[in-house]
Amino acid sequence: MSNQPILFKNARLIDPASDREERGGVLVRDGVIQAVGPQVSEAADAQVIDCAGQVLAPGLIDMRAFIGEPGGPYRETLKSAGEAAAAGGVTTVVSMPDTNPVLDDPAVIDFIVRRARDTSIVNICPAAALTKGLEGQEMAEIGRLKEAGAIAFTDGARSVTNAQVMRRALTYARDFDALIVHHVEDPDLVGQGVMNEGEFASRLGLPGIPREAETVMLERDVRLVRLTGGRYHAAMISCADSAEIVRAAKGKGLPVTCGVSINHLALNENDIGDYRTFMKLSPPLRHEDDRQAMIEALADGTIDVIVSDHNPQDVETKRLPFAEAADGAVGLETLLSAALRLVHEGRISLPRLLRALSRRPAEILGLPGGRLSVGAPADLIVFDPDAPYVLDKRHLRSLSKNSPFDEARLEGQVSTTMVAGRVVFRRDTM
């Protein structure tokens, strides 16, 4: 960390924690925000960054990213994931435990913490496995894993189908004030399905996945939360009925939160088009009615956070017939640009969007970020919300290029990213 203070001036300041929006500057010293607001003046010893009227906001916090290290560095490493995140304005990434070996041992969690600290330019916080080997049978040692640095507990892309195991996990996690993050998709109801069940799947001749694969699991989990009192976060919901379940749970005061992937806010099943495997996701892209319901649930606060669901896959696993291709899409670098579509369409305000991308994840995870106030960590981004560009996957920093937004017209680019008071990314055009 440089000891020289940095002054951001001439910025459009947006604080999603207080909904404050004003013109002004931010002075950063020793890794934290020392002053913020219209009255901030230049310090004699400060390096000055002129934001030229662009938005300055807290860095994004992504609660769901799959990283190939350890075990699959050809897909993504902690270093490459960090570079992609910084270019997209993500200053904190929660990595999933679906690695080889699985993150179900305190020594492996410790390895990830140290390795990320040494190689990544952004914060990477590991989520530990909820069950040993992600097998859904034997609960992992939540207390020891949390002590080693695990920020949450999840079986990543897998669901815990055994209700008794989930009940015990919620009960045990409650005693440690640990957060359980669950992928809500019943594998038996998914069966051989590869896309959303409905007319479009029939026309493509592909087996469908019913919405009930999600809602049945989510409904069960909410009942178990009511039984145990454990803190629970549905990793991603994708359909209108799921939003109603979460809305009802919150209405009863249960400790339930949820996320949605940027893909399910920006795309629908029709984007699969001519069997485009970059659109093969879990849960699958849904009907346009469900996409609209996700946007409305985000706007009214039912959905708490937006995640990238960053899941890099190499050519060998994607260049296959649709039914055989792997699930997943990269998303760290395009998370903000794709989300800004909602702002440009007038569906949500920019402060509300930034709250779902920074402040709410910080609150749910117990992190100090996501706010633009004195004493907050200097994890900051500067971006032009109107800067147009066409995404070329060849320019992505991720090692894998399976972006569903390849060749898409997007608006909004990050020009500067700061982590802990250090500038880790600057776009050449600024």
pLDDT tens digits, residue range 261-319? 999 999 999 999 999 999 999 999 999 999 999 999 999 999 999 999 999 999 999 99
44 has pLDDT over 90 = no
**DSSP states of 274-290 as a string?**
TT-GGG--SSPP--HHH
Which residues lie below 8 Å from residue 1, measured CB to CB, with a gap of 6+? Answer: 30, 31, 420, 421, 422
SS3 state of residue 232: strand
Write out the E strands in 96-157.
Answer: 123-126, 128-129, 153-154
Q: What is the C-alpha to C-alpha distance for residues 428 and 289, in angstroms, rounded to an integer?
A: 40
The 3-state DSSP class for residue 89 equals: coil
Distance CA 47, CA 122 (A): 21
Amino acid, res. 27: L
Catalytic residue among 309, 379, 384, 406: 309
Percent of the chain with pLDDT over 70: 99
224-260 pLDDT, tens digit per residue, is 999 999 999 999 999 999 999 999 999 999 999 999 9
Q: The tokens of 106 are what?
A: 């305190």
pLDDT band at 2 (very low <50, low <70, confident <90, very high): low
pLDDT value, residue 36: 97
Binding site, annotated residues for Zn(2+): 183, 309
Place of tokens 């906001």: 57
| CB 414 within 8 Å of CB 382 | yes
**Residues in CB range of 131: below 8 A, 6 or more apart:** 104, 137, 138, 139, 140, 155, 160, 165, 169
Q: Where is the binding site, in residues?
A: 183, 309
The answer, yes or no, to whether the previous bond of 283 is cis (omega within 30 of 0) is: yes
Q: Which two structure tokens, joined as six digits, stand for 231?
A: 């803190």
The CATH number that domain 59-370 falls under is 3.20.20.140
**Section 170-194 average pLDDT:** 97
Quote the pLDDT of residue 428: 78
Residue 396 has pLDDT above 70, yes or no: yes
Using DSSP bridges, classify how beta strands 123-126 and 90-95 pair: parallel, antiparallel or unpaired. Answer: parallel
Distance CA 49, CA 47 (A): 7
173 — pLDDT class (breaks 50, 70, 90): very high
The answer, yes or no, to whether residue 430 has pLDDT greater than 70, is: no
Determine the Cα–Cα distance for residues 90 and 104; give it in Å rounded to an integer.
25
Q: In the beta sheet, which residues pair with residue 33? A: 28
Q: What does the block give as tokens for 388?
A: 């147009």
201-206 LR contacts (CB < 8 Å, sep 24+): 201/269, 204/272, 204/275, 204/322, 206/322, 206/323
Helices (H), 257-359: 262-266, 288-299, 315-318, 335-344, 350-354
Domain residue spans of the chain: 59-370
Distance CA 397, CA 393 (A): 9
Burial 43-55 (b: 16+ CB within 10 A, else e): beebeebebeebb
Each residue's pLDDT tens digit, 94-144? 999 999 999 999 999 999 999 999 999 999 999 999 999 999 999 999 999
Structure confidence at residue 429 (pLDDT): 59
Question: Confidence band (pLDDT; 50, 70, 90) for 42?
Answer: confident
With cut-offs at 50, 70 and 90, classify the pLDDT of residue 3: confident
Structural element, H or E, at residue 424: strand 422-426
Q: How far apart are CA 188 and CA 133, in angstroms?
A: 20
Residue 338 near residue 295, CB atoms below 8 Å: no
Classified as helix, coil or strand, 174 is: helix
Rounded mean pLDDT of 193-207? Answer: 97
309 among known catalytic residues: yes
